[in-house]
Copies of this chain bind each other. A is one copy, B any other.
């Protein structure tokens, strides 16, 4: 693991690191915020998965999470959204290929050799963070847009690894959205049965979530239909999942929306991870 930068921030340290990933076969960059409480021992860890086109950097600089993580004593991990590099497959569209890994393990060419973001996030990077940083065994996961999809689906697929889950404006039903169908076909193939394990609305029905879930959504989100917010909110009710689904008048899809509700999410995870 290489340290690319470390800056003191809210009494803690905002770092950016890279490592050679076995899982993706590429050098992967990620960011970690360690709160001041980590000086006294391991702290719980919140994973923040970012959306389309983002790297580790967008949320790190624009979501304002560090202030809240320092207040509540959580580490925050900001992974990249895909493998990257000249030797890595890509597409000219903003929503496929590099910057758009969708948190799945690709089985199809040309994506399969590197696009293994599910195993990377839930496995290799999880192990690396646990080894290299003073984090406890309590982990929560959240994310925005494609990252909200990642948070919800990884939590339901790996419930033993995540004790809390929330999302900002997640892609809630990708198997029935243009933000999902195109990518799942490319990464997972035409057989839609392989898609169901990566769709929050479907996973709620198939596997469910034993805890509760916090979702914030802007009512004036310009991507409301692509997110299939309707299908996710319906599935939460239909499956009687304990949850708070909050629709906020006037808010759009931007980081101005994320930053506005960031403290609520960090506080919410801290309650569940610290007790």
CA distance A220 to B7 in the complex (A): 10
Asked if residues A7 and B64 are in contact (CB atoms below 8 Å), the reply is no
Asked if residues B62 and A256 are in contact (CB atoms below 8 Å), the reply is no
Asked if residues B62 and A259 are in contact (CB atoms below 8 Å), the reply is no
- Write out the residue numbers on chain B whose beta carbons fall within 8 Å of the beta carbon of A9: 256-257, 259-260
Encode A50-81 as 1/0 by CB contact (under 8 A) with B: 00000000000110101100000000000000
Interface locus among A91-99, A229-237, A247-255: A247-255
Listed in ascending order, the chain A residues whose CB lies under 8 Å from chain B are 7-11, 14, 61-62, 64, 66-67, 218, 220, 250-252, 254-257, 259-260, 263
Nearest opposing residue in chain B for A260, CB measure = B10
Asked if residues B259 and A67 are in contact (CB atoms below 8 Å), the reply is yes
Asked if residues B250 and A8 are in contact (CB atoms below 8 Å), the reply is yes
The residue from B11, B62, B67, B260 contacting A11, defined by CB atoms under 8 A apart = B260
CA distance A252 to B66 in the complex (A): 16
> Which of A67, A251, A256 has most chain B Cβ within 10 Å?
A256
- Write out the residue numbers on chain B whose beta carbons fall within 8 Å of the beta carbon of A251: 8
CA distance A250 to B11 in the complex (A): 9
- A249 CB, min distance to chain B CBs, angstroms: 8
Asked if residues B61 and A220 are in contact (CB atoms below 8 Å), the reply is no
- A247 CB, min distance to chain B CBs, angstroms: 13
Known: A8-B251, A8-B257, A66-B259; 18 extra A-B contacts, CB below 8 A, are A7-B254, A8-B218, A8-B256, A9-B257, A9-B260, A10-B259, A10-B260, A11-B260, A14-B256, A61-B61, A62-B62, A64-B64, A64-B259, A66-B256, A67-B67, A67-B259, A67-B260, A67-B263
- A56 CB, min distance to chain B CBs, angstroms: 15
